[in-house]
């Protein structure tokens, strides 16, 4: 969701005031009536969201991504309190890494350096074994699976989407290639403007089951049915530029299911989750017929998100094996198209690009990210040999709000590591 | 559910014919319309149930029972093919252990002897990392938690239920003790006769979310609200005899939550699941406000059900520690009241008793069981040092159908072990 043009967010309770534990939500047998959070529209927003994003499975049906029977991979610990690393904001005020975590409504954050867990911190109802909704970080997992299948020759990314899913012939994807889907250069009418009652996001969310159905809902019953309604934006051609549209990931997931002949949850388990030695099951939100929300419905524990970040930082090698091909990571890091990205106008991401559903940043440090709109993020800084994973529940779905403190704090930490400011023990 | 008086079950497809994999259910992207299973009444029964019981979380909201961060306990393997162990049925026909698994629509079965996994077998859509609905096996977990709290002095089982949950004053439980709840000697009007539209089970299932709500449902919104509607059976007094009523476990769960100040899922995770070194998360079905279905909503992988069986067989000692007090297991094994059990008229369980929500069988071999109505079972034979755990989805909810082959086959296996008929390697 590109909401980076929103400049004046309303005032919200801060990190501490909105702490779901302090709010007393869902505590008691039964909880007091005014402390109950249900899967209804009123509870689907901030501040209730601070509880919900860590308890999605209690609200909706979900599909298991099994961590399998193999051993859990080790995440060696080398603790160092980096919470006081400093950065300077736009007004010239000195802030700390801890300030950044508070400003971004962080629910859980882990910093790894050279594969060691340097720092790990949880807020509110989050804890090490509690999955959190990854939202659009989900896309980077699905994009990686797609890129793996391309690398393995099981998907030809130059082929038409309808070569794999003929049902999409009459949709926006009728004349698109798989590569265009993977890099989101698809011209499709898909609005996420919730103030517009005709915006496609309403039918998307209600058919996918990620939003409670309104009493008068008469849209598509399932995610598949919804995808068949997508039409081309006649003003544009595919491949003109990058347009960030969640539905592209749902289309990619359909292709992946068709090619692998497996549910997305099963393929993700087999191809990544088990190989990297995940410690816990993850899960997808599903629609009424079990279809995974590939655009934003993935939930993981923070430590497993960190494992995947390390897989990516290490060019696919982790847990004693090549979990994913190195070429897939290289393709993400080096083959994004900055010219196609630029017109999207992401003020906080100047010079970035988008490849296989990853956000690719500064070349000089080998920076790339998986990004969720409420602050969820996998951040890799190759040069600093640093991975930062974060779950968050920021009230405002905006890069403009989330990026400045995040980028400044992450950069300060990377510099502290690169320039040896942080004590040797973590180097 | 005591349906042991049902003598003439209708004909159903057999184990192989009803194999959910062979049925092709939920395969495809999307699955064909006639192969889709949803959370609707039509799909809530056999044979669709054979898929559903292993995929509950895809159908309804659930609560996580975390296996925690600790190491997974070892289940050492000593494989031996016991599938051809023989038993003789009521007609004098010789059958095998494999016949029993087919006759009982087994989805997964594991035999342990002296702590070694001797035999492990899966059918249909089940596999080692896929949780299955335990149904009334759930009750034995909750009863064990209750008995632990009694042993620790945190619950006084001689006290009134309303000492812990005053809200229940005007219900059937208003003059009952905790012990009566633990042993199900409560006189309560609670019918599970689905052919009676006024049976309490309708409101129970629909308020708890374990059954889809009928369009005209106007009963209690939540499980708690439902429990407040329970009234005494005026024809009887508490403590007269054993009456098997699922709602007693829901009352016990309420007491446990009140005393521990934790959700049942969290307490079960901390008190048993993590200590025994479970390999996987388990989960509860929950109602619309997150209340766990304590009477039948627990789901586990088969190997973790086996771990719990071993905890019980070993008087609470497992994974290098006293997971639960030995006295709790002894209380279950030795303090059941056969006289109170007898009037319940379980033809296949003559001489048995019921204690802390466990079914206690033949004294001579130290037999006790957790029992689910579609064939789910934890079976401990102390003398044979044997634990058998089974998940199943028998079309017919009846002891009369399930018990004869099960009991004969389990006894044959125990005898083979006790009398050294099975090769020494497993002894």
Residue A1 has pLDDT above 80, yes or no: no
The predicted model gives A31-44 an average pLDDT of 91
CB contact under 8 A, B62 and A66: no
State the DSSP H helix or E strand holding residue A103, giving kind and residue range, or none if neither: helix A97-103
Instruction: Give the pLDDT of residue B339.
Output: 98
Which regions of A71-165 does DSSP assign to beta strands (E)? Answer: 86-88, 94-96, 106-113, 116-122, 132-133
Region of poorest pLDDT, from A33-37, A254-258, B43-47, B145-149: B43-47
Which residue stretches of A12-94 are H helix? Answer: 20-23, 49-52
Q: pLDDT at residue A425 above 50?
A: no
User: What is d(CA B199, CA B75) in angstroms, rounded to the nearest whole number?
Assistant: 43
**Residues in chain B, overall count:** 427
pLDDT score at B367: 98
Strands (E) located in A76-159 = 86-88, 94-96, 106-113, 116-122, 132-133
- The answer to whether the CB atoms of B289 and A258 lie below 8 A apart is no
Residue A4 predicted with pLDDT over 50: no
Beta carbons of B64 and A130 less than 8 Å apart: yes
CB count within 10 Å of CB B198 equals 8
Give the per-residue pLDDT at A250: 98
Q: Which residues of A touch B278 (CB under 8 A)?
A: none
Cβ atoms within 10 A of the Cβ of A197, count? Answer: 7
Per-residue pLDDT, averaged over A166-178, amounts to 98
Residue-level pLDDT at B1:
37
> Which chain A residues are within 8 Å of B285, Cβ to Cβ?
none
Tens of pLDDT, residues A294-311: 999 999 999 999 999 999
Considering only CB atoms, A288 lies closest to which of B38, B55, B286, namely B38
For chain A, say whether B68 makes contact (Cβ under 8 Å). Answer: yes
Three-state DSSP at A9 gives coil
Mean pLDDT of A20-37: 97
What pLDDT, on a 0 to 100 scale, did the predictor assign at position A418? 73
Backbone angles phi, psi at A33, to 5 degrees: -50, -40
pLDDT score for B43: 79
Closest CA relative to residue A257, chosen from A221, A214, A220, A286: A286
d(CA A190, CA A230): 7
The residue ranges of chain B whose pLDDT is under 50 are 1-5, 423, 425-427
For chain A, give the number of residues: 427
**How high is the mean pLDDT of chain B?**
94
DSSP B108-163: EEEEEETTEEEEEEE-TT--TT--EE-TTHHHHHHHHHHHHHHHTTSS-TTSBHHH
Assess B55–A contact: CB distance below 8 Å, yes or no.
Answer: yes
Q: Which of A291, A199, A235 is nearest to A1 (CA)?
A: A199
Residue B128 touches chain A, beta carbons under 8 Å: yes
Chain A CB contacts of B279 under 8 Å are 69
ipTM attached to this prediction: 0.95
- What is the spatial distance between Cα A135 and Cα A112, in angstroms, rounded to a whole number? 22
Contact B299, B133 (CB under 8 A): yes
* Mean per-residue pLDDT of chain A: 94
Q: Which residues of A235-259 are buried (b: 16+ CB within 10 A; e: fewer)?
A: eeebbebbbbbbbbbbbbbbbbbbb
The residues, ordered by sequence, that sit 6+ positions from A35 with a Cβ below 8 Å of its Cβ are A23, A24, A25, A26, A27, A28
Specify the pLDDT at position B41. Answer: 84
Q: Considering only CB atoms, which chain A residues are within 8 Å of B258?
A: 29
Residue of chain B whose alpha carbon sits nearest to that of A292: B58
Half-sphere exposure of residue A378: CA atoms within 13 angstroms, side-chain side? 29
User: Of the candidates B68, B128, B289, which has its C-beta nearest A69's C-beta?
Assistant: B128
- Confidence at residue A394, expressed as pLDDT on a 0 to 100 scale: 96
**Cβ atoms A347, A4 nearer than 8 A:** yes
Do residue B57 and residue A59 have CB atoms under 8 angstroms apart?
no
Does B415 contact A at CB distance below 8 Å?
Answer: no
Going by pLDDT thresholds of 50, 70 and 90, the confidence category of residue A3 is very low
* Distance of alpha carbon A374 from alpha carbon A401, whole angstroms: 10
Residue B425's pLDDT is 45
pLDDT in tens, A230-239: 999 999 999 9
Which structural domains are found in chain B, ordered by start?
A: 86-137+270-426 (3.40.710.10), 150-248 (1.20.58.710)
DSSP string, B14-56: -TTTT-HHHHTTT-SSSPPGGG---SSGGGSSTTTHHHHTT-G
Mention every residue, 6+ apart, whose C-beta is less than 8 A from residue A166: none
- Closest CA in chain A for residue B36: A289
- B278-316: pLDDT as tens digits: 999 999 999 999 999 999 999 999 999 999 999 999 999
**Cα-atom radius of gyration of chain A, to the nearest Å?**
21
For residue A37, the distance in angstroms to the closest alpha carbon of chain B comes to: 7
Cβ contacts of A283 on chain B, cutoff 8 Å: 57
* A266 vs B87: CA distance, rounded Å: 39
Among A227, A241, A149, A258, residue whose Cα is nearest residue A187:
A241
Q: What are the pLDDT digits (tens) for A82-124?
A: 999 999 999 999 999 999 999 999 999 999 999 999 999 999 9
CA distance linking residue B26 with residue B31, whole number of Å: 5
Contacting A residues, span 240-269, partner chain B, CB-CB under 8 Å: 254, 257-258
């Amino acid at each position: 969701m590109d909401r980076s043009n929103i400049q004046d967010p309303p005032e919200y309770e801060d990190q501490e005031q909105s702490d779901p534990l302090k709010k007393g939500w869902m505590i008691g047998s039964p909880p007091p009536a005014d402390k109950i959070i249900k899967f209804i529209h009123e509870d689907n927003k901030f501040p209730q969201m601070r509880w919900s994003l860590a308890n999605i499975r209690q609200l909706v049906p979900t599909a298991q991504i099994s961590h399998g029977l193999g051993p859990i991979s080790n995440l060696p610990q080398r603790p160092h309190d980096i919470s006081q690393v400093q950065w300077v904001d736009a007004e010239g005020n000195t802030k700390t890494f801890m300030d950044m975590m508070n400003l971004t409504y962080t629910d859980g954050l882990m910093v790894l350096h050279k594969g060691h867990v340097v720092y790990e911190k949880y807020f509110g109802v989050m804890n090490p074994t509690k999955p959190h909704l990854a939202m659009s970080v989900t896309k980077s997992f699905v994009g990686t699976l797609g890129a793996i299948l391309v690398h393995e020759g099981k998907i030809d990314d130059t082929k038409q989407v309808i070569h794999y899913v003929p049902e999409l012939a009459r949709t926006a994807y009728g004349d698109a290639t798989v590569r265009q889907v993977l890099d989101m250069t698809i011209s499709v009418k898909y609005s996420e403007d919730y103030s517009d009652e005709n915006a496609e996001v309403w039918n998307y969310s209600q058919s996918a089951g990620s939003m409670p159905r309104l009493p008068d809902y008469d849209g598509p019953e399932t995610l598949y049915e919804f995808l068949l309604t997508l039409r081309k934006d006649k003003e544009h051609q595919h491949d003109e530029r990058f347009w960030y549209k969640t539905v592209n990931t749902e289309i990619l997931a359909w292709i992946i299911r068709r090619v692998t002949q497996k549910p997305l949850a099963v393929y993700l388990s087999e191809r990544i989750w088990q190989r990297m030695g995940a410690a816990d099951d993850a899960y997808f939100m599903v629609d009424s017929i079990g279809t995974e929300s590939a655009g934003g419905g993935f939930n993981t524990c923070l430590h497993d998100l960190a494992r995947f970040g390390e897989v990516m930082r290490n060019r696919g090698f982790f847990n004693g094996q090549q979990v994913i091909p190195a070429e897939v990571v290289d393709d993400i890091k080096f083959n994004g198209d900055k010219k196609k990205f630029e017109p999207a106008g992401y003020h906080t991401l100047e010079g970035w690009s988008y490849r296989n559903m990853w956000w690719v940043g500064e070349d000089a440090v080998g920076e790339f990210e998986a990004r969720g709109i409420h602050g969820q993020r996998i951040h890799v800084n190759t040069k600093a040999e640093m991975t930062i994973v974060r779950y968050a529940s920021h009230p405002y779905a905006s890069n403009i709000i989330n990026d400045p403190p995040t980028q400044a704090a992450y950069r300060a930490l990377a510099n502290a590591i690169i320039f040896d400011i942080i004590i040797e023990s973590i180097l």
